[in-house]
Structure 1
Amino acid sequence: MTERVRVAVLAGGPSAEHEVSLQSAHAVLDALPKELYEPVPVIIDRQGRWPVELRRDQVDVVFPVLHGPFGEDGVVQGHLETLGIPYVGCGVLASAVAMDKVAMRRAFLAEGIPVTPGVWFTEHEWRATIDSWGLVKSLDWPMYVKPSGLGSSIGISRVTSMEELRAGVELALTHDRLVIVEQEVAARELICGVLGGHDFPEASLPGELLVPGDWLDYEAKYLSNAEIATIPAVLPERVAEEVRETSLRAFRAIGGYGLARVDFLYEEESGRLYVLEINTMPGFTARSVYARAWAESGVPYPDLLRRLIDLAFARSRQVIARSRHVTVRSGK
């Protein structure tokens, strides 16, 4: 019998998305084909303490199902690279860029990828400004106020007045020192999954988020039993293809690897498509729109996990091959 691959599934962590991470990890642990893999749950507590110290001789690959700061922002990825352990998902740079909404928008703008109108400022700039309106005057109401480095709709407010704006900024500043304010666009919310390496990533069928009320908040995403997405989305073929092509462009713009979910706003009247954000470790819960999009595209959940793990090993082999090549050329 072939020895099973030991897969350490990292979950929890000190970010505000701790509970979301646990939900994702449970789904991954349950779905890993047991004939191929030996799951090793590693739950990091809210203070950032690890139950064990990972070593290359203990596990073969790591599946970091961590969301938010310290898990999705390149920190854990860098740690795993220093340990020499293969891991699922984007590398240090792509994770960091995608986690920071300001850095992400800059990367998209540099590549000509359309984004919604928005501004950003630091806590110092907010405190030092007498006229708060001056920071956002280029935008129209309503607006969304977001901490730059967080996900899962945590710390986000929809605001329609200066009073609400001030409250929204103060809330966002409890999560991050950098705040981004985006103008609301009356549009359909679409998603598209990306899967693959640097060279030939693939895009899934697009899906559409079903938004109750004004926007899809944390409770609607993770605590409600209501259906949150239609997959595949009902779209003209031209728009569906544009979503898929733009998803791949966004993935390449941040240097993505392994997986990502790209979120869009689609203005039907004008035909405009905006990239809202890219998530390098989207939710892997049983209701995950990323997993559902790939299932509808012909990749069932267990196969999706297997492909991601294979990609992790492939990148590790490439890194080893490059390091040997450099050593030989340097004469060491």
Structure 2
Amino acid sequence: MANEKKTVAVLYGGKSTEYEISLLTAFSVINAIDLEKYRVLPVYIRQDGRWIAGGEINGKLAYKDQLLLKEDTTVEAAAEHWLAPSAPTSAGTRPDIVFPLLHGPNGEDGTVQGLFELLNIAYVGSGVAGSSVGMDKVLMKDVFAAHNIPGPNYLSISRFEWENDAPSMILKVKNSIGYPCFVKPANGGSSVGISKCVSETELSSAITDAFLYDTKVIIEEGISGREVEIGVIGNHDLSVSVPGEIITKNAAFYDYQSKYQEGESTLVIPADLSDKVKAELEETAKRAFTALNLSGLARVDVFVREKDQRVIVNEVNTMPGFTQFSMFPLLWQHTGLPYQRLIEKLIDLGIEKHNEKQQIHYRIDG
């Protein structure tokens, strides 16, 4: 039926340091989605990894804690539920699409995308490979290097290497990266575990801290320039948003506090860039999106290098912050695509991608 409501399962929470950000995102999306067009089913992943499925959302949520669903509706206890391995594909509760509002590992990294591929359910955003490589900063930059997409100099260190020969690792950073440099967990977001270092002492402490959040860290050269972000949406025919610039206050870089504490940073949308830089930014963002085999949406974060105005890609975020006040939706709002319509566009792109995959043959008949 053309006018029949589509069922959207909103997935949020998760085993990640970005759990709270996910809750804020889900609260914002659920309250913005048009309930005249969509049935919305909440699926909450607790921090211990337990999945809890809720009933249909019938109105706006008054406060975020309403998303913390109770144990009596766990997926494990409902064999007929669409997420249960034994659930028939024709289950009445099966959604048309899943909107995975998960940030960081165990959600944005291809893990749940793989689950939905096995269940043959449409979902918003990039697939397994794009999500996984987009989450791993080392693999991401390896792909960019292979495609001649400019980025900062970098190297990676495993926990095994660090624990067995830390002095050699510090010397390696000094000789190949230098100072200032940035230390980051290879897999993560929201600037958790990231440090700026200007000395060997700071470097050692920063690497130790980063290993709290991952088994691999990446060290990147510091780039002097403006921090600019741009949104990309699409599967094949890509569209880009206006660019936005981040100006931090009282911080060495755009850290967690700058991102999520009021007054710690300023977002300038649209960014005041020359036509030449803007054109280079748009082309580079599309190239980065395509190189990582992404789909649906991404936010591309770059530096506009001070010395030559060159666009240097920092990273790509495959499920960027998505509250109404996050950079990605604000970029599209200023481009002419309001929050509610952006949500609908991403749902349509997810269904389009899923329908395209249904044409793939998985057996040989004759």
Q: TM-score range by the shorter chain?
A: over 0.9
Contact 2:257–2:264 (Cα < 8 Å) also in 1: no
User: Are 1:9 and 1:42, in contact at CA under 8 Å, matched by a contact in 2?
Assistant: yes
Listed one character per residue, the Cα deviations across residues 45-78 of structure 1 (whole Å, up to 9, x for unaligned) are 0011101335153122100000000100000000
Deviation at 1:164?
Answer: 1.0
- Secondary structure of 2:357's aligned partner: helix
Gaps of 5+ in 1: none
Identity of aligned residues (%): 41
* Contact 1:77 1:92 (C-alpha < 8 Å) held by counterparts: yes
How far apart, CA to CA, are the structure 2 residues paired with 1:322 and 1:128?
47
Counterpart secondary structure, 1:229: strand
- Quote how far apart the aligned CAs of 1:226 are: 4.9
Alignment of 1:108 with 2:144, yes or no, is: yes
Deviation, structure 1 residue 315: 1.2
TM superposition score normalised by structure 1: 0.95
Residue 131 of structure 1, CA deviation: 3.3
Query: In the alignment, which of 127, 132, 149 is matched to residue 91 of structure 1?
Result: 127
1:98 is paired with a residue of what secondary structure?
helix
2:41 is aligned to 40
SS at match of 1:294: helix
Distance in 1 separating the partners of 2:260 and 2:21: 7
CA RMSD of aligned residues (A): 1.5
- 1:224 maps to which residue? 262
Q: TM-score if structure 2 supplies the norm length?
A: 0.86
Query: Which residue type is aligned with residue 209 of structure 1?
Result: I
Look up the match of 2:283: 245
Is 2:234 the partner of 1:196?
A: yes
> How far apart are the structure 2 equivalents of 1:303 and 1:115?
33
Q: Distance in 2 between matches of 1:165 and 1:29?
A: 42
* 2:98 aligned partner: 62
SS in 2 for 1:322: coil
Q: Which residue of 2 aligns with 1:211?
A: 248
1:80 and 1:222 map into 2 onto residues whose CA distance is: 30
Considering Cα pairs closer than 8 Å and 6+ residues apart, tell me whether 1 or 2 has the greater RCO: 1
Displaced runs of 4+ in structure 1, greater than 4 A? none
Question: Is 1:131 equivalent to 2:132 in the alignment?
Answer: no
Match status 1:291 vs 2:292 = no
Q: Which amino acid aligns with 1:37?
A: Y
Tell me, in whole angstroms, the C-alpha distance in 1 between the residues paired with 2:243 and 2:159.
36
Please state how far the C-alpha of 1:228 moved relative to its aligned partner.
3.1
Contact 1:221 1:228 in 2 (8 A): no
1:187 and 2:216 are equivalent in the alignment: no
Which one of the candidate residues 169, 183, 187 is aligned to 1:145? 183
Give the aligned partner of residue 6 of structure 1: 7
| Counterpart residue identity of residue 209, structure 2 | L
**AA of the residue aligned to 2:155:** V
Letter in 2 for 1:171: D
Superposed displacement of residue 244, structure 1: 0.7
Q: Which one is further off, 95-104 or 270-279?
A: 270-279
Q: How far is 1:225 from its partner?
A: 4.5
Structure 1 residue 78 corresponds to structure 2 residue 114: yes
Residue in structure 1 matched with residue 157 of structure 2 by the alignment? 121
For 1:156 and 1:285, locate their aligned partners in 2 and report how far apart those are by CA, in whole Å. 23
Q: Which amino acid aligns with 2:178?
A: D
SS of residue matched to 2:122: coil
3-state SS of paired residue (2:148):
coil
* Stretch of structure 1 that moved more, 102-111 or 216-225: 216-225
Asked whether the 8 Å contact 1:94–1:254 carries over to 2, the reply is yes
Instruction: Please give the alpha-carbon distance, in whole angstroms, between the structure 2 residues aligned to 1:133 and 1:223.
Output: 33
Q: Is 1:309 aligned to 2:310, yes or no?
A: no
User: Which SS does the other structure have where 1:73 is aligned?
Assistant: coil
Mark the runs of 5 or more structure 2 residues left unpaired by the alignment. 54-74, 76-80, 83-88
Say which SS state the counterpart of residue 282 (structure 1) adopts.
Answer: coil
Structure 2 residue 207 is the aligned partner of structure 1 residue 169: yes
Q: How many residues align?
A: 327
* SS of residue in 2 equivalent to 1:266: strand
Structure-2 change in CA distance of 1:10 and 1:225 (3 Å): farther
Q: Counterpart of 1:188 in 2: which secondary structure?
A: strand
The alignment partner of 1:136 has SS state of helix
Partner of 1:49: 50
The C-alpha deviation readout for 1:61-105, integer Å capped at 9, x for no partner, is: 100000000100000000011111110000000000000000000
Q: Aligned to 1:19, what secondary structure does the other structure show?
A: helix
**How far 1:269 moved relative to its partner?**
2.8
1:133 CA displacement: 2.6
Distance between the aligned counterparts of 1:77 and 1:103, measured in 2?
Answer: 18
Q: Determine the structure 1 residue equivalent to 2:365.
A: 331
Residue 227 of structure 1, CA deviation: 5.1
Matched position secondary structure for 2:254: coil
> Partner letter of residue 185 of structure 1?
I
